[in-house]
Each structure stands twice: as C-alpha cells, then as structure tokens.
Structure 1
Amino acid sequence: MSWVLVLEADAGDPARKVAGLPLALRLGLDAQGAGASGVVLTAGLEAVEGAFADPRFRLPILKQPPEGADRVTIGASSVVHRTLFKAIREAGVSR
C-alpha cells in the first residue's frame, strides 16, 4: 500500500539548513528514498513549500493525505537518521 509523509508545524524552523539542505527537504528526500508516494504539508507550512524546489525531489506536495494511504507523521523541523522511514515501513508501523 502507498504511504505519505505528513509534515506538521512544530516549534522549529523547517527551512533551516543543515548540511546544506532545508530540514523539510531533507525529510522529503529521505521519505522519497524509502518509497513514499507524496509529502503532505499541514496548515502553517505553506511558506516552506518552496524548499522542495530541488531537482532531486520528485514527489507531489499534497494538502491532505490521499484516502486509504498510510501516513508517517513527523514535525517538519525534525532531524532523523536517513533510514528511519524505511525502517518504519519495514516494521509495518503507520498512522
């Protein structure tokens, strides 16, 4: 089944760059590498959409998860290991 990464507004700045990439883009690229079908930006994250204008990022940016899609939800300024999303999916954890 397909899954999407849901980014939620949190206390941090999702546009802040770490190792040259905005945090939100880094999360999106990691999710893309783990097989996500899209990235959902929740309310309050409209301004960060431009951070995804990177030729490596090929997923659609959505306003809400598609019906029936599994979701992995995380704060938009989180820093995680790049294999976390793959591990979550392999473990069958979602929603």
Structure 2
Amino acid sequence: MKNVLKKFSIAMSSLIMMLAFSITVFAASTPSIGENAPTTGSISITKDGAVFNAYQVLKATQNGDAYEYTATDVFKGFFNNSQYGNYTENQIKDLTTADSI
C-alpha cells in the first residue's frame, strides 16, 4: 500500500508539473492610449517670484496605440546608477509624487 501511495503521489506531482509548465505566460500588456487622451498640459505658478525649470528626462515614442519611454541623452547616466537609486525608465514614468521616490 505504501508503494502504491508513493507511486501515485509521484505520478500526480509529475502531472501537476507538466500542466503548470505548459501554461503560457503573458507579459503585462501595455496600456492603450485612448482617443480622448490629453495631448497638452499646463502648470500654474501662483507664488510671486517663483521660478519653474522643466527638464525633459524621458522621450516618449508612440508605438502602435501605446508609448515607449527612453532616457534622453542628458539623463542616460541617471538610470540604473546606484548613486541615484538604481531607477529605470519604467519606474520614473510611473512616479506620481515626490513621496514615491
């Protein structure tokens, strides 16, 4: 009886592994750009004498109905650099607040 149970558990384990390895793995799909997506934006500065400097960190290239982000030449040394936190282009584009850094 012990041998039968052992053979059965081995057969079941093999079957489960075979089924698990045959499952197709899909990468996360790139979010689609909707027809109503904004194409421009604005920044309002309300403090007298305040200065706002804007820097292009990432280049967005449309690929089908989504965008791919790459670092600009000036900021290539920033990404994947332990001195600055080992951020990738994908992590930077997903930041929404300074607290998430």
Query: TM-score of the superposition, structure 2-length normalised?
Result: 0.22
Decide which structure has greater strand share: 1
Q: Which of the pair has the greater relative contact order for Cα pairs under 8 Å at 6+ separation?
A: 1
Decide which structure has greater helix share: 2
